[in-house]
Amino acid sequence: MKFKIFTATVFLFYVITVKAQPVKQHGQLKVVGTTLTDVNDKPVALQGMSFGWHNLWPRFYNAGAVNELVTEWHCTVVRASMGIELNDKGYLKDPEGSVKLMKNVIDACIKEGVYVIIDWHDHNIHLKEAKDFFKQMATDYGKYPNVIYELFNEPDYETWPEVKAYSEELIKTIRSIDAANIILVGSPKWDQDVQLPAADPIKGYNNLMYTMHFYAGTHKQWLRDRTDEAINKGLPIFVSECAGMEATGDGPIDHAEWNKFLTWMNAKQLSWVAWSVSDKLETCSILNPSAASNGKWKNDDIKEWGKLIKESLKIK
Count of domains in the chain? 1
Would you call 67 exposed, middle or buried from its count of C-beta atoms within 10 A (0-12, 13-18, 19+)?
Answer: middle
CB 200 within 8 A of CB 227: no
Whether 25 maps to a domain, the answer reads no
Please give the pLDDT value at position 20.
60
CB 153 within 8 A of CB 186: yes
- Rounded distance between C-alpha atoms, residue 113 and residue 21, angstroms: 5
What is the dihedral angle through the alpha carbons of 283, 280, 48, 252, rounded to the nearest 10 degrees? 0
Q: Which domain holds residue 48?
A: 35-312
The domain that holds 254 is classified in CATH as: 3.20.20.80
Whether 18 maps to a domain, the answer reads no
Question: Tens place of pLDDT for every residue, the chain, 316 residues?
Answer: 443 444 444 433 333 444 469 999 999 999 999 999 999 999 999 999 999 999 999 999 999 999 999 999 999 999 999 999 989 999 999 999 999 999 999 999 999 999 999 999 999 999 999 999 999 999 999 999 999 999 999 999 999 999 999 999 999 999 999 999 999 999 999 999 999 999 999 999 999 999 999 999 999 999 999 999 999 999 999 999 999 999 999 999 999 999 999 999 999 999 999 999 999 999 999 999 999 999 999 999 999 999 999 999 987 6
Please give the pLDDT value at position 87.
94
| Residues belonging to the active site | 154, 241
Backbone angles phi, psi at 186, to 5 degrees: -80, 165
Whether 270 maps to a domain, the answer reads yes
Whether 173 maps to a domain, the answer reads yes
Element (H, E) at 217: none
Please give the pLDDT value at position 316.
61
Whether 30 maps to a domain, the answer reads no
Please give the pLDDT value at position 314.
85
CB 221 within 8 A of CB 212: no
Whether 7 maps to a domain, the answer reads no
